[in-house]
Structure 1
C-alpha cells in the first residue's frame, strides 16, 4: 500500500475523529447557547421593568402627573406581550421550515439591538413625542424576539441532547432565566443607588449598554453551533412542513391545548415575583430589601434545583416530576401567603425559598423537554412557541387578577391563594393527560 494511500486514510480517520468530537460537544454547546440566550432575554426583561418603575415615567412622560406617567411607563412594558403571539407564529414557521439555528441567531441579534437602542434613546425633553413612540416600538421588537427565543433554544437543545439526558440539557434554558434575573439585580443595585439627577441623566442607560457584552458572547457561541441532527434529517429528506402552523393545528391540536394549559404553571412565578412582592411591601409593610433578598435567594437555589429535577425526570419520567412541582406549589402558596400576611420573616424566608427555589423548580426545570417531546420535529418549534406564549400571556395577567380579587383584612389573600391553586391544578391535570415520553426515541416523538 502506498504512502499516499496511508496519508489519505490518516486524513479520513482524523476527520472522522474531529466529527465525533464535534458531535460530542454539540449537546454542551447547545445547552450553553440556550443558557446565554435565556440569560439575555430575562436580563433585558428585568432591567426594562425596573427602568419602567424608576425612570421611564420621569424622562419619557414628564408632562403627565406622576401616577399617570408611571402607568404609561408600565404600559410600554406591557406592549411587549402584544407581539409575542405574532412572533410565535412567524418564528415558529421559520424555525420549523428553515432551521433552529437561523431563528436563534435572529432572536438574539434582535433582542440585543433593541435593548442596546433603548439605552441610546433621546428623552421626551429632547425629541418630544417621538421618544415614547420609539420606546414602544423597541419594546415590541423585544417581545417579537422573546416569542421565538425560548422555544427555539429548547428545540435546539432537545434535538442535540443524548436520548437519556434530554431533560437535563434542555433545563439549561431555565437556568439561564435565573442567571439573567440574578445578573440584572446585581447590576441594578449600584445603579439605583446613584443620586436621582445622575440616574435620570445617564445612569439608567448603563444596564442597557452592558447587555451588548452578553449578546456578543451568545452570538459567538451560536455562530459555531451546528444545526440539529433531527432537523438535518428532515431537510435531507425534504419532509419539512410547508406551513408548519397549519400542520400543527390539523394534527397536534390536543397537545397544543395541553401545552397552553400546562403553561399556566407560570402563574406561580408571576404571583411570587410580582404580586406577593407588592402585597408584602405595600399592604403588610415588610421592608422592600427583605423581599428582594427572598427573590434573589430563591433564584440562586433554583440554579441548582432546576438541573437536579431535570436529571430526576430523565430517570423516572417527566410527568411525576412536573405534577409534583405543580401540586406542591398549589399547596405551599397557602402557608407562604399566611406568613406574608402575618409578617413572619423567618417563615417567609423558609417557605418562599421552598416554594419558588425548590418545589416550583420541579415543574419549571422540566417543561422544556416535556413540551418539546409532545411534537414531531416538523412542528416542534411552532408548537412550543405558540403554546407557551398563549399560556404565559394568561399567566402574565395573574398579578392584575390577583390585585382585583385581593380583599381587605389579614385574610384578604385567600382568594389569591385559591386562584394560584386552581391554575396549578389545571396545569397538573393537563400534563397527566399527556403521554410519558422520557424513553421515547427522538424519531418517534410526536408520531400520530
Structure 2
C-alpha cells in the first residue's frame, strides 16, 4: 500500500472514531434526557415540564456549536486540520465523562442543572469543529474521483454512535429501576473517556492533508475569522439550508420518537431503543451505499431523494408507532432512520467540503453546518415536544418536519453540483480529470 493510500485510510479511520465520539456524546445525552435526566435534575416540576427542561439543556449544547465551528474551524485553516482535531476530541471526551459524575438535584440543588448546562456548552464547543474537521481531512486525503466514499467515514460514525449509545443504554436498562437511577445511567457517559483515548491514539498517526499543505505554502491560510462567510456567502447559506431536514430527522427518530413511545404511548423503553439499534445497524450499511451513489449520480440528486423520502415517511412512521406492535415499531424506525435518513447524511459530507475553497474550507464548513444544527436539530426535541403538548397530536410534528424538508429542497436547488470539482484548485469551477487526479496523487506521494 502506498503512503498516500495509507494516509487516506488513517484519515478515514480517524474521522470514523472522532465522529463516533461526537455523536455518541450528543445521542447519549438525548437518550438519557428522554429516559431519566428529567427526574434527576428537574424533579420539582411536572413530568412534561421536566422533559421540556431537559430537552432545553439538550438544545443548549447546540448553541455553542457555531462558536466552536468558527473558532476551531479557523484554527484548523490556520494551523492545520490535525491540530484542531486533537483538541476537539479531548474537549468532547472530557466533558462527556464529567457529566457521568455530576451530582443530582437531590444532592446540590440548583447547582446540578447549572453544572449540566456548563458541560453541555463545552461539549457543543468541541463538537462544533469535530465533524467538519473529520470530513475535510478525509476528503483532502482521499481519491478526488471518489470523494463521496472518502467522506463516508464520518457519517458512518453517526450511525455507529447511534448504535453504541442506544445499545449501551439498552444494556443498562436491564438493571433494576432504582439501580439505574442511582448509578446505571452514569456509566454510558463515563465510557466516553474510552473513546477519547482510542480517538486520540488514532489521530496521532495521521499526516496533514496535501491540500492544506499546498495552501499553506501559497500563504492562503492567512484568513480572518469570518472570511468564508464574506467570500462565499452562497455556499454558507446553502449549507445552513441543507441542514434543516437532515439534522431535524437525525434527532426526531432516535431522541424525540423514543420519548414519544414511552411517554405518550406508554410502551416499554426497551422497545424504542431496540428499534433504534436495528435501524442504526441498517444505516451503517446504507451510508457507504448512498455515498457511492453520490459519486456516480451527484450529491444533490441523492440528497434530495433522501429528504423527500423522509418527509413522505413521517406519517406512516407515526401510524406504525400507534399500532403499538413491536414489529411495526421496528419497521417504522428501520425505514426512517436506517434507509431514508442516510440518503441525506451520506452525500452531505463531501458536498459541504467541496462547496468551500481550501483556505477557508474548515471554518466555512464548520460554522455553516453548526448554524444549521442550532436551527434544526438542536431545538427539534424541544419544538416537537412543545408542538405535541399544544396540539395533542403528532400531526403538528409531521407538519413541522415537512416545513424543514421544503427549506432543504430550496437550498439544494440553490447550490451547485460539485462531485467533479477540483478541490485543490483556487478556481472553484475547476473539475477533476484523470490528468489532474494523477498529478495530485504523484504530488502527495512525493511529500
TM exceeding 0.5: yes
In the alignment, the residues of structure 2 paired with residue 157 and residue 446 of structure 1 have an alpha-carbon distance, to the nearest angstrom, of: 21
Q: After superposition, what is the alpha-carbon deviation per residue over 1:394-437, rounded to whole angstroms, capped at 9, x for unaligned? A: 21223333344449999x43343232223213212311222211
1:239–1:314 Cα change, 3 Å = same
Greater relative contact order (Cα < 8 A, sep 6+): 2
Superimposed CA distance per residue, residues 47-99 of structure 1 (whole angstroms, 9 cap, x where no aligned partner) = 2334445554555556x346466555444333212211211121111111111
The answer to whether the 8 Å contact 2:40/2:106 transfers is: yes
Please name the residue that 2:437 is paired with: none
* Structure 2 Cα separation of the partners of residues 57 and 92 of structure 1: 34
CA contact (8 A) 2:59 2:382 kept: no
C-alpha distance in 2, partners of 1:284/1:49?
19
Closer, same or farther: CA 74–313 of 1 in aligned 2, 3 Å: closer
User: Match of 1:228?
Assistant: 209
Take 1:286 and 1:446, find their aligned partners in 2: how far apart are those partners? 56
Residue in 1 that maps onto 2:24: 43
1:321 to 281, 302, 308: 302
1:170-205 superposed Cα distances (whole Å, 9 cap, x missing partner): 111111111112112222223233334433443333
Deviation at 1:128, TM superposition (A): 5.4
Aligned ranges for residues 144-223 of structure 1 at < 5 Å? Answer: 144-223=125-204
Give the whole-Å Cα distance in 2 for the aligned partners of 1:328 and 1:70.
29
Shift of the 86–297 alpha-carbon distance from structure 1 to 2, 3 Å rule, reads same
TM-score with structure 1 setting the length: 0.87
CA 1:283–1:196 in 2, change beyond 3 Å: closer, same or farther? closer
Q: Is the 8 A contact 2:422 2:428 kept in 1?
A: no
Which aligned pairs between 1:251-262 and structure 2 lie closer than 5 A? 251-262=231-242
Partner of 1:4: none
CA distance in 1, matches of 2:109, 2:291: 50
Once the two structures are superposed, what CA deviation does each residue of 1:221-258 show, in whole Å capped at 9, x if it has no partner?
A: 1111001110001111211133042x212221111111
Cα root mean square deviation, aligned: 2.6
Q: State the distance in 2 between where 1:338 and 1:129 align.
A: 40
Shift, 1:262, TM fit: 0.4
Query: 1:417 and 1:369 mapped to 2: Cα distance?
Result: 29
Output the CA distance in 2 between the equivalents of 1:275 and 1:188.
16
Task: Output the CA distance in 2 between the equivalents of 1:286 and 1:394.
Answer: 30
Q: 1:297 — aligned with what?
A: 278
Structure 1 residues 364 and 143: alpha-carbon distance in aligned structure 2, compared to 1, 3 A threshold: same
Gaps of 5+ in 2: 430-447
How far apart are the structure 2 equivalents of 1:52 and 1:332? 25
Gaps of 5+ in 1: 1-19
The 1:337–1:386 alpha-carbon spacing in structure 2 relative to 1, beyond 3 Å, is same
Task: Determine if the alignment matches structure 1 residue 399 to structure 2 residue 398.
Answer: no
Check 1:298–1:22 CA distance in 2 against 1; reply closer, same or farther (3 A cut): same
Q: Which residue in the other structure is 2:433 paired with?
A: none
The residue number in structure 2 matching 1:105 is 86
Residue 118 to residue 415, structure 1, CA distance change in 2 (3 Å): closer
Q: Distance in 2 between matches of 1:360 and 1:53?
A: 21
TM-score, normalising length: structure 2:
0.87
Larger CA deviation: 344-353 vs 309-318: 344-353
Distance 1:53 1:331 in 2: 25
Following superposition, the deviation at residue 344 of structure 1 comes to 6.0
Displacement over 6 Å in runs of 4+: 407-410
Whether 2:397 is the aligned partner of 1:416: answer yes
Q: Please, which moves more after superposition, 304-313 or 346-355?
A: 346-355
Number of equivalences = 426
Does 2:209 match 1:248?
no
Residues in 1 aligned to 2:41 and 2:316: alpha-carbon distance in whole angstroms:
41
Is residue 437–residue 445 contact of structure 1 (8 Å, CA) maintained in 2?
A: no
Residues 287 and 132 (structure 1), Cα distance of their counterparts in 2 relative to 1, 3 Å cut: closer
Between the aligned partners of 1:203 and 1:72, the Cα distance in structure 2 is 22
Alpha carbons of 1:336 and 1:202: their partners in 2 closer, same or farther (altered >3 Å)?
closer
State the shift of 1:278 in Å.
3.5
Q: Which moved more, 1:162-171 or 1:301-310?
A: 162-171
Q: Which is higher, the Rg of structure 1 or of structure 2?
A: 1
Match of 1:426 among 384, 407, 415: 407
1:188/1:440 CA distance change after superposition, 3 Å: same
Q: 1:136 aligns with which of 117, 120, 134?
A: 117
Tell me how far apart the structure 2 counterparts of residues 273 and 299 of structure 1 sit (CA, whole Å): 9
Distance 1:39 1:137 in 2: 22
Distance 1:338 1:445, change over 3 A: farther
The worse-fitting range, judged by mean Cα deviation, of 290-299 and 302-311 is: 290-299
Q: State the distance in 1 between where 2:31 and 2:316 align.
A: 29
Task: Return the alpha-carbon distance in structure 2 between the equivalents of residues 21 and 105 of structure 1.
Answer: 25
